[in-house]
Amino acid sequence: MLFHKLLSASFFAAFLLSLVSTVTYAAGPVPLASHRAVYDLSLKELIQSTGISDVRGRIVMEMENGCEGYILNQRMLIELISDDGGAIVSDFHISTFENKSGDTMRFTMSSAINGKTVEKSSGIASKEGEEGVVRFSDEEGKELKLPKGVLFPTAHTLKILQSAREGKNLVSAKVFDGNGQEGLQDSLTIIGKRNSATKNLPDDGKMQDMKHWPVRLTFFDLTKQQNEPDYEVALEMFENGVASDLILKYQDFSLNGELVKLEFLKKGECK
């Protein structure tokens, strides 16, 4: 179960970096960038003893702000080293397409342990009125009902960014992120004070003095009554959609995620 939770917490795929092209604030439209980012993961803390001595990995994320929607591809590779020196490698990949109106999302997800596929899922999630439904293409007739007010990743990110610009510090939302049957979760986001100080980023100075906010997200399983979250993600969120300074906190350990490569992608003209 540890490995499954680890993989599903790759949320940050589905939430954070599936971003809208333009968000209208009081100060005017803020364009968010299509980009490819690479994060190196290293062990921050062993929270409790589970026979693990080290954890390392990498996240490669590509977000494309297209004319008709937002395309996200993310791969997360994690290597867990046991106390006796053995290693287990988990490989998680998720791809999503969300339309501009935020009412339909297509998704494909797969996860593997030591090269063997342990889970695959694909389908379409749609908002129908105030509620929604997920129809899984690889499980004939299988559906997942979505509750009233549920958000897809782009709408969730938009709500967080709008709240940040307005000086609000809390966002509560139910989110379906495309991670199969377990993709529906409750979330609470805490937004810190805006910061415009220059950060050391691999961006050739393109983001110098850009506004950003410290953000912490906690995620809970909707099927359980629990006070402790399944996992937490902390990061610096920039107004162009780039994230840095990741901290991924699971029940047994936490990871640092350092942004080591950042490439901005050219966007084609839309008719």
The pLDDT of residue 124: 95
Whether residue 19 has pLDDT greater than 60: no
The pLDDT of residue 179: 86
Better-predicted residue by pLDDT, 75 or 268: 75
The tens digit of pLDDT for each residue in 232-251 reads: 999 999 888 889 999 999 88
The tens digit of pLDDT for each residue in 161-180 reads: 889 989 999 999 999 988 88
CA distances, 270 to each of 18, 66, 102, 117, 221 (Å): 19, 8, 19, 38, 39
The tens digit of pLDDT for each residue in 36-72 reads: 999 999 999 988 777 888 999 999 999 888 888 888 8
What percent of the chain lies above the pLDDT cut of 90? 43
Query: What is the average pLDDT across 195-215?
Result: 84
Query: In angstroms, rounded to a whole number, what is the distance separating the alpha carbons of residues 190 and 244?
Result: 16
